[in-house]
Amino acid sequence: MASHRRPKPAGRARVSIMTAAAAAAVALSAQSGAHADPAPTKDQVKEQVDQLNEQAEVATEQFNGAQAKQQELQKQVGDLQDRVARQQSQVTDLQGGLAEIAAEQYRNGGISPTVQLMLSSSPDNFLTQAGSLNQVGDSQSSALKELQAQQRKLDQDKSEAQGKLAELDSTTQQLKASKDEVQGKLAKATELLNTLTEQERQALRAAEAKSAADAKAQADAAKANTDRASRDSGRSSLSASTGSAPASSVPASGRAAAAIAAAESKLGSPYVYGATGPSSFDCSGLTGWAYAQAGVTLPRTSQAQASAGTRIGTNIANAQPGDLIIYYSGMTHVGLYVGGGQIIHAPHTGAVVRYESATVMPIAAIVRI
């Protein structure tokens, strides 16, 4: 008969060991949690998002450049294809004329060696041999020379068209890569912003709105001072008495004033990469659109716009209303100077066209249009 013995109660030593083990596990768990990366603060998220937006701006200008090049190449390819078609028609007509000569000679007793050579696949070979045969009439020689010239032009244009098509294909691939890069940066920025609470996101938006409002107030004050100085003594007398007018007191020229007015009419419009207006813009899209309203055509990208006028250095004190302010060493952002140390620009995805301090980013060039 089996014995049914009670298990012995755990001794104090055993209980102590188990308690110590449990405490150690809890301690290790707490220690592991303590070493986990803390969630980024609102300011850290903003800094990272700003960096991503800057990188996206670089990719956006690459996208804009590739898009502009693609459009130009498409036009060139179209023009070349039209030219090839016209030249092919001319070559066909010339060949038809030579065929008529051959037919006429056949009806009159056979095709002469001259015409046989003319109808050969090598016009160059014909011209070389025809001189020794001394059988080429003036009209025949002229017709063949014209055929030879047209065929050469046709071959050259076909080759050029093929080269342009290859370049177009490469540019299209570059365009896609730049677009993918922009979208990737923006997706990362969105992910980061989504780690914040709604209250924190509202705080960031409020800070941006306050910065834009302060910039607008400064720009308005500078404009009022400029208008007052212009009414009181005029720019010429001011220059005569001081040697030169301070930058903030220099009124915008006619086309610069028109460009500023156009940009101001778009305050609050959303930033959209690759957009050139009239309802949404990226940075160079805004400056290009604004100057277009003043009758001035600017290149598509910020890098190209940096060479569209006269460089004035990088000191904002020398800027005048209407100047383009180009930012970063890669010249990947541009704004329109409105005076009073302020610009109007399209900052980045998620933002709108707004006023901002002209020195909020590192200035690479000031360009007078």
| Residue numbers annotated as active site | 283, 333, 345
Determine how β-strand 342-345 pairs with β-strand 354-357.
antiparallel
Q: Which two tokens stand for residue 178?
A: 């730049």
How far apart are alpha carbons 45 and 123 in whole angstroms?
73
Which letter does DSSP use for residue 36 in this model? Answer: S
Map residue 113 onto helix, strand or coil: helix
The residue type found at 100 is E
> Residue 363: left (phi > 0), alpha (psi -120 to 50), or beta?
beta
Judge whether 350 and 205 are in contact, CB under 8 Å.
Answer: no
Neighbouring C-beta atoms of residue 284, cutoff 10 Å? 30
CA 148 – CA 94 distance, rounded (Å): 10
Task: Give yes or no for a cis peptide into 278 (omega within 30° of 0).
Answer: yes
Residue type, 245: A
> What is the rounded CA–CA span in Å between residue 326 and residue 70?
24
* H or E segment to which residue 342 belongs: strand 342-345
Nearest to 257 by CA among 282, 228, 293, 289: 293
Is the bond preceding 321 in cis, omega lying within 30 degrees of 0?
A: no
CB atoms under 10 Å from CB of 134, counted, come to 7
- Cα distance between residue 246 and residue 229, in whole Å: 11
User: Which of 248, 319, 284 is CA-nearest to residue 67?
Assistant: 284
